[in-house]
Each structure stands twice: as C-alpha cells, then as structure tokens.
Amino acid sequence: MQRQDRFVSAERVIRTGFWINAALMLLKLSCGYFGGSEAVFADGVESASDFIAISSTMIALRIGREPLDGSHPYGHGRAESISAMVVSLVILLSGVGILARAAITIKSGDFPKPELFAVMAAVLTIVVKEYLYRFSQQVGAKLESPAVLAIAKDHRKDALTSVATLAGVLGAYFGFGIMDPLAAGLTSLFIFIIAYGTFRSAAHDLMDGRPPEKLISEICVLAEQYEGVEHVHDIRARRSGQFLLVDLKLDMDPDMTVRKSHSISTQVKKGIFRMFPNVGDVMIHINPHDEKHTDLTRL
C-alpha cells in the first residue's frame, strides 16, 4: 500500500465514525430528553466529548501525512501518537463524568421511569458502536495506525457505556431505577482500563519504545540472508505514526570496497521495504566483521 493510500484509508475510517457519532449523539440527546431517561441523555452528552477525540485525530492524520522536511527530518508521524494521548484523556474524563453522575443519582434517590424509545436508542447505539469498533480495529491493525486504533478503542468504550445505559434504562423501565446508576458506575471502571491502555501505548511510541520482538527478529533474519552480510550486529526500531524507523548495524568483510558494501546495504534496504510495508526508513551502518568493536553512545 502506497504512503498516501494509507493515510486516505485511515482518514476514511475516522470520517465515517465522525458522522455516525454525530447522528447517534443527536438521537440519544433527543430520546433521553423527551423519553425521560437521564442515562440515555447523559450518554448523548458523553458522545459529544467524542467530537474532541475524533476531531483531534483527523487533524493528526492531516499533519502526519505531510512528508519529512528540514524542521522534521523524521516526518510528522508522531502527531498520531500525540492524538492518541488526547483521545485517552478524553476517554478518562468521560469515565470520570459517568461515575460522578452515577454517584449523584444514587445520592438523590430520584429514579424516573423512561419511555420505551429511550430503551431502543440504547440498543441501537450498542449495535452501531460495536460495528464501528470492529471496522476501525481491523483497518487500524492493518495500517498499524496509533490514531485509528485509539479511535477504535473509543468506539468500544462507547459500546460499553451504552451497555450500562441499556441495563440501567431497562431496569428503570421495569421499576428497578437504581440499576441505572449502578450499571453506569461499573462500566466507568472498564472505561478507565481502556483509557489507560490507550495512553500507555501512545506514551510507549513517543518514548521510542521498541516494537514487538517478533518483528525485530524477522528483519534480522531477512538482512542476514543477503550475500555479503555476515551478521546483524545490532538493530533498533521506533514508531513514527503508521511507520517504523529502523537502524541496522551490519557486519561485513573489512576488505570489501565502499561501493560494494553500499550496494549490498541498498539491496537489504529495498528487501526490508518489500517485506515490511510499514517500515518508513532504514539507516544502515557497516562494521568490519573480524574486529571487536564497542558502540559509541552517550545514551
């Protein structure tokens, strides 16, 4: 998949979620208000916060698709990880709001009976949000896009929230009003877990965290298959948005000409690009294989 095609696919997923979320927000606000359901109305208010998350992600994708330049020689992909952190904070605040509303409702002891269409709004939200989660998760995993994966988790958070809303509004509909705030409070705990996972993943990428060892091993095996490469002395990799930036140190024959070693390095780089479409750049350093050497670093 070409670079621009990756960003087009990611943006299409985000835009789809944006407009569907807008429709669901209006539906829940109106059904909650006119249907007498505090839970459904609160769920609609919570959906409004998603606009912050989705809007920031759309902006991040616009920034991230820009090519490298003099000020950003490694590209702009980290904008996606920053966006993912913003999304995690929005998810966290949503959970805090839901938990606070549940506590206030329980303390007041006022549990009104909702209308049936308010119940149906909660059912529809669960179905639609779960579909959006699976769709976004599939595309996000394929592109390895932190922003799209964060939005997928936000959709799953909404589905969980609506499950609590449905349990509560059903309980209130059949006369067990306290089920509404209790279910919402329980679901807020799941929301906190999702927020933590999203934040941790984004922070790992921003701190140049190492990608999965399986991927690192596969790159090493591929590089060592080329004639002239004696051994992969060291490999580092870090994520920049949807792409990985790889640093390779290859052990080669010390008597090999610069031209020859450069040609082999170019073949290795092209091979990595062919096998790993999410690798954005590969920097290769050559070491003489018959000498012991210590890497010079201040890190």
Q: Is the C-alpha dihedral spanning 2, 247, 141, 89 positive or negative? A: negative
Domains observed in the chain:
3-206 (1.20.1510.10), 213-288 (3.30.70.1350)
Model pTM score: 0.74
Q: Which helix (H) or strand (E) holds 255?
A: none
Provide the pLDDT for residue 1: 55
The number of C-alpha atoms within 13 Å of 86 and in the hemisphere containing its C-beta is 20
pLDDT tens, per residue, the chain with 299 residues: 566 677 778 778 888 888 888 888 888 888 888 887 767 777 777 777 677 777 777 787 778 778 888 888 888 888 888 888 888 888 888 888 888 888 888 888 877 777 888 888 889 989 998 998 999 999 888 887 877 888 888 888 888 878 888 888 888 888 887 887 777 777 788 778 888 888 998 899 899 999 989 999 999 999 999 999 999 999 999 988 888 999 999 999 999 999 999 999 999 999 999 999 889 899 999 999 877 777 777 77
Bridge partners (DSSP) of residue 279 are 244
By CB atoms closer than 10 A (0-12, 13-18, 19+), residue 168 is buried
Residue 41 makes CB contacts below 8 A (sequence gap 6+) with: 28, 29, 32, 33
Of 2, 47, 3, the C-alpha closest to 240 is: 3
- Name the strand (E) or helix (H) holding 99: helix 78-108
> Amino acid identity of 173?
Y
Residues 59 and 56: their CA atoms lie apart, in Å, by: 5
Instruction: Of 113, 93, 241, give the one whose Cα is nearest residue 157.
Output: 93
pLDDT of residue 174: 87
What pLDDT was estimated at residue 187?
75
The pLDDT of residue 2 is 60
Other CB atoms within 10 A of residue 149 CB = 22
Cα dihedral 27, 29, 30, 36, rounded to 10, equals: 130
Rounded Cα distance, 201 and 80, in Å? 12
| pLDDT computed for residue 37 by the predictor | 76
Q: What is the structure's pLDDT at 4?
A: 64
The CA-atom distances, in angstroms, between 138 and each of 8, 46, 74, 100, 106 are 15, 25, 27, 33, 39
Q: Are 179 and 168 in contact (CB under 8 A)?
A: yes
